[in-house]
Chain A
Amino acid sequence: MKDKALLALVALGLLLALQPVSSAHAEGCSVSQQLIGGCTPNVSGNLNDGSAVLEGTAGSPGSGAGGSGAGDDGAASTPIDPNAQCVIVVAGRCLYAADHGVQVQPITLADIAAFRPDPGVDNMEPNGWMIVGLDTNFFATDGTQIKDGTLLGQPASVRFTPVTWRWTYGDGAAASLGTAGGTWGSQGIEEFDPSPTSHVYRAPGTYYIDLSIDFTAEYRFGGTQWIDIAGILPVAANRLVATAGDAKTVLVERECTKNPGGPGC
Chain B
Amino acid sequence: MRMLPVASLGLALLLLSGCLPQSPTVTPTPQPSSTPVFASDEEALAAAEAAYRAFQKTSDEILAEGGTRPERIDAFAVGAAADTEKEGFADFVRKGYRSTGLTTFDNFSLEAFDPLAAEGRDIVRAYLCSDVSGVNVVDLTGTSVVAPDRPTKTAFEVGFDLRPPLLLVVSSKDVWDGGGVCP
Q: Tell me what chain B mostly uses at the interface: helix, strand, loop, or mixed.
A: mixed
Q: Is B155 an interface residue (CB 8 A)?
A: yes
**When A and B form their complex, what is the total count of cross-chain residue pairs whose Cβ atoms lie within 8 Å?**
192
A111 to B56, CA, bound (A): 42
B63 within 8 A of A: yes
User: Hey, which chain A residues are within 8 Å of B153, CB to CB?
Assistant: 59
List B contacts of A223 (CB < 8 A): 142
* In contact, A30 and B140 (Cβ under 8 angstroms): no
Query: B87 to chain A: which residues have CB within 8 Å?
Result: 30
Please give the residue numbers on chain A whose beta carbons come within 8 Å of chain B beta carbons, in ascending order. 1, 4-5, 8-9, 11-13, 15-16, 19, 21, 24-41, 53-54, 56-59, 61-65, 67-68, 81, 84, 87-88, 90, 96, 98-99, 101, 154, 220-225, 227
**Do B174 and A225 touch across chains, with their CB atoms under 8 A apart?**
no
Of the 9-residue stretches B1-9, B11-19, B27-35, B95-103, which lies at the interface with chain A? B95-103
Instruction: Name B's A-contacting residues (CB within 8 A).
Output: 40-41, 56, 59-60, 63, 67, 80-81, 84-85, 87-89, 91-92, 94-99, 103, 109-113, 115, 127, 130, 132, 135, 137-142, 145-147, 149-157, 172-183
Alpha-carbon gap, A27 to B155, bound state (A)? 13
Q: List 29 A-B contacts (CB under 8 A).
A: A16-B181, A19-B178, A21-B178, A24-B177, A27-B174, A28-B80, A28-B84, A30-B84, A31-B56, A31-B63, A32-B67, A32-B92, A32-B99, A35-B135, A36-B97, A37-B146, A37-B150, A38-B149, A39-B175, A57-B151, A57-B175, A58-B151, A61-B155, A61-B182, A87-B140, A88-B96, A99-B94, A221-B140, A223-B142
Q: Are B179 and A16 in contact, CB atoms less than 8 angstroms apart? A: yes
Given A29-B173, A59-B153: A36 in contact with B137 (beta carbons within 8 A):
yes
Distance between A121 CB and nearest chain B CB, rounded to angstroms:
34
Q: Is the CB of B96 within 8 A of A36?
A: no
Among the interface residues B60, B155, B177, which one has the most CB atoms of the partner chain A within 10 A? B177
B179 touches A64 (CB 8 A): yes
Residues of B close to A32: CB separation below 8 A: 63, 67, 85, 88-89, 91-92, 97, 99, 137
Q: Given the complex of chains A and B, what is the CA–CA distance between A236 and B172 in angstroms?
A: 62
